[in-house]
Structure 1
Amino acid sequence: MIEETATVVAATPDFIWVEARARSACSSCGTQDSCATSSVSKWFGMRRQQLRLPNQFASSLGEQVIIGVEDQVMVTASLAAYILPVVLMIVAAIAADIYGMSDKQQAIAASSGLFLGLFGAGVLTSNHLMQRYFQPQLLRKAVAPLTVSPIAFQPFTGDTP
């Protein structure tokens, strides 16, 4: 289960809208000062995403909640987004080669396969039935951070209690 902390930005008795800030991997990298990818990431800024979820824990505005997605859902979404377009591009290019098309026609066929794969991935992930599958789940309310209070020590007075 992949979990993320989100903030409730709107709430009704039935639904809450949560906002989770999308983070790039660059925020935890030690070489982010000298990396071009980090520079591009800073240039485009952080995206904010809002999701509507059932209000099953009676959450209110401003609370922190934990949302999560099953690992298998992430694998399926990754396959749809990355593998399907590439596979269709390669299949289209091989089919164009088998039919003896010119290089220009093979490139057009490969591009068509890529765009067909991207369109198919979009249709697959936007399907009403699949949206429930890809929808993050509200797991629990976030626990408030622990506070540490100082301990007052008494001076040692010897062996007597």
Structure 2
Amino acid sequence: MVEESARVLRVEGDVVWVQAIAKSACGSCQAQKGCGHSLLAKAGQKQIDLPVDRNGLDVSENDQVIIGVPEQAILRSSLLMYGVPLMAMMAVAMLLSLMGVEEKISVLCAFLAMIAGFYWVNRQSKSLKFSHWHPRLVRKAQSVESHIPMCETH
């Protein structure tokens, strides 16, 4: 399960609205202090508000929680969203190329096949049951306390 921390905005029965911040890959880079891209990523962080199943946990507003999405959900949705349109595009392009169709027409038809693939995925996604693909509340986040003694100045 892929986990991410979030903050509880409000609780509505069995649904909890949480706010997660979309992070860039800059947090793991060693050169982030001297990199302009890191500054832009921090300035452009997006806050995402989403409903999450409460999952029987006792949470209240402003609690820090961990939400999780199953890995299979990410893999399947990625394959569905990107793989189907790309495969449709490549299949049409290869078929028309083998048939000896002019390149301009082949490219146009391949592009239209990709658009049709996106349209098909959009239509199919409305009929599929994605309830087990949604993020869930996993647990409350542990508050991290510093174990370093602080010096007092007088």
| Cα distance in 2 for residues equivalent to 1:28 and 1:104 | 44
Deviations 1:55-108 (A, max 9, x none): 321211100111111111111122122222211110010122233321111011
Q: Structure 1 146/10 Cα, relative in aligned 2: closer, same or farther at 3 Å?
A: same
* 3-state DSSP of counterpart to 1:51: strand
1:101 paired residue number: 101
Q: CA deviation at 1:118?
A: 2.4
CA distance in 2, matches of 1:148, 1:34: 31
1:129 and 1:108 map into 2 onto residues whose CA distance is: 30
Give the alignment of 1:22-101 within 5 angstroms. Answer: 22-32=22-32, 33-34=34-35, 38=37, 42=41, 45-55=44-54, 56-101=56-101
Larger of the two Rg values belongs to structure:
1
Cα gap change, 1:34 to 1:14, in 2 (>3 Å)? closer
Query: Taking structure 1 as reference, are residues 53 and 92 closer, same or farther at Cα in structure 2, changes over 3 Å only?
Result: same
Letter in structure 1 aligned against 2:100: G
- Work out whether residues 13 and 58 of structure 1, in 8 Å CA contact, stay in contact via their aligned partners in 2: no
1:157 matched to which residue of 2? none
What is residue 155 of structure 1 aligned with on the other side? none
SS at match of 2:45: coil
Unmatched 5+ stretches in structure 1: 151-161
Identity %: 31
Aligned-pair CA distance for 1:43 = 8.8
Q: Partners in 2 of 1:39 and 1:109 — Cα distance?
A: 40
Structure 2, gaps ≥5 residues long: 150-154
Q: Distance in 2 between matches of 1:20 and 1:93?
A: 41
Structural RMSD (CA): 2.7
Q: Match of 2:141?
A: 142
- Number of aligned residue pairs: 148
Q: Point out the more displaced range, 90-99 or 113-122.
A: 113-122
Deviation, structure 1 residue 28: 2.1
Return the TM-score normalized by structure 2.
0.80
Q: Which has the higher contact order (CA 8 A, sep 6+)?
A: 2
Query: TM-score with structure 1 length normalisation?
Result: 0.77
Matches within 5 A, 1:111-150: 111-124=111-124, 126-127=125-126, 129-148=128-147, 150=149
Superposed displacement of residue 41, structure 1: 5.7
